[in-house]
Amino acid sequence: RSGRAAALRARMEERLLGARFRYLNQQLYTGSSRDAERLFRADPAAFHLYHRGFERQVRRWPERPVQRIVRYLRRRPASLVVADFGCGDCTLAASVKNQVHCFDLVPLSPRVTVCDMAKVPLAAESVDVAVFCLALMGTNLQEILGEASRVLKLGGTLLVAEVASRFEDIRAFLRAMMQLGFRTVSKDLSSSYFYVLEFAKTGPARPGPAPGLRLRPCLYKRR
Ligand code: SAH
């Protein structure tokens, strides 16, 4: 009897965590990066809950996107300096020899520099590779990618791994990236879970709006 009660209780707790995760996730995708910063600063426990939910989601996938970034970096010189925007638990930094600057809102690891990714404490043109792995979350995408452009050296690489269903119009997105000063080097659209896009910084962003730069929020279904 008490075994059944415990099982029921565990199931209720799971449900509640699931609901809380989906709610937090929705807030992250529908607010600006500054709203996200405020949210997690006010409630660090929410961040840990969010990350548990995130881990559970990604474990269902056949491959973790961050592993693709790891493989990419291992093929290139270890001397390249990397910035990981929205680094989570710093799997990337832990898996490569490169110097990796890790940025996130709350430190899941001592390697993390806590900041809003729209404003990272790096000098202009100081990194070779900027990474957004499932991390393009705020509604102020243009500002966030502008920050990546600022810290990237000319000719530097921008890697984006994002949930496939977030792209409304991939061609419009790539055109907008061009406006932001990023040339598409390669795009891997083969996975139905996530896309991996590689860009090179060709110069500063052209001023003005980039309307194609839109991603749908990634809202997880109740399971
Ligand atoms: N890149 C990691 C984690 C992805 S989850 C991986 O692939 O495993 C997305 C991460 O982006 C979360 O850790 C979240 O806290 C972070 N994030 C979201 N908005 C952010 C912001 N405005 N500034 C910094 N990090 C942010």
Exposure of 153 by Cβ count < 10 A (0-12 exposed, 13-18 middle, 19+ buried)?
middle
The token duo for 6 is 């415990």
Instruction: Tell me the pairing of strands 182-188 and 194-201.
Output: antiparallel
Please say if the pLDDT value at position 171 is more than 70. Answer: yes
Residue with structure tokens 């795009």? 187
Contact 99, 84 (CB under 8 A): no
- Can you give the residue range of the structural domain that contains 3? 1-59
pTM, 2 dp? 0.94
Least confident of 135-139, 154-158, 166-170, 217-221: 217-221
The token duo for 165 is 């269903």
Give me the number of domains the chain comprises. Answer: 2
What are the pLDDT digits (tens) for 79-137? 999 999 999 999 999 999 999 999 999 899 999 999 999 999 999 999 999 999 999 99
If asked whether residues 96 and 189 sit together in one domain, one would say yes
If asked whether residues 32 and 83 sit together in one domain, one would say no
135 lines ligand 1 (CB under 6 A): yes
Nearest CA to ligand 1 atom 11: 86
How far apart are the CA of 25 and the centre of ligand 1, in A? 11
Is 222 part of any domain?
A: no
36 lines ligand 1 (CB under 6 A): yes
